[in-house]
Amino acid sequence: MAKEFEVRNAEEFETMIREGDLRISDAIVSTILKNLKSKKRHHHALSVITLEDDAIYDISIDKKDFYTTLVENLSKYEREERYEECVKIKGAIDYLKSKNDK
């Protein structure tokens, strides 16, 4: 199940993204790790519920972006010293890299 974020408006969510909110990274990375071997191309990662706009935005990730997204997020996890997750992310990066090298 995709993670849900409840915010006042879209601007608040944009601020979360700009500030590198780790909860967003967690939702995206966990979606990738759960679907690493899936044949589906797009995977629902999170939903953003905006209270003022009364809207829901569903965010999905394209399987083609798994590798770069994991590489980008690895440094965030390292900064937060979340080394168990770093090991999982590194393993997934290595898996995707080996798949692309074939």
Percent of the chain at pLDDT exceeding 70: 98
Q: What region, left, alpha or beta, does residue 81 occupy, with left being phi > 0 and alpha being psi -120 to 50 degrees? A: left
Per-residue pLDDT tens over the stretch 54-90: 999 999 999 999 999 999 999 999 999 999 999 999 9
Instruction: Please report, in angstroms and rounded to a whole number, the separation of the first and last CA atoms in the chain.
Output: 32
Contact 37, 66 (CB under 8 A): no
pLDDT band at 2 (very low <50, low <70, confident <90, very high): confident
Helical packing angle, 10-18 and 22-34, nearest 10°: 80
What pairing do the DSSP bridges indicate for beta strands 42-50 and 55-62? antiparallel
- pTM, full prediction: 0.90
Confidence category of residue 1, pLDDT binned at 50, 70, 90 = confident
Longest dimension (CA), the chain: 49
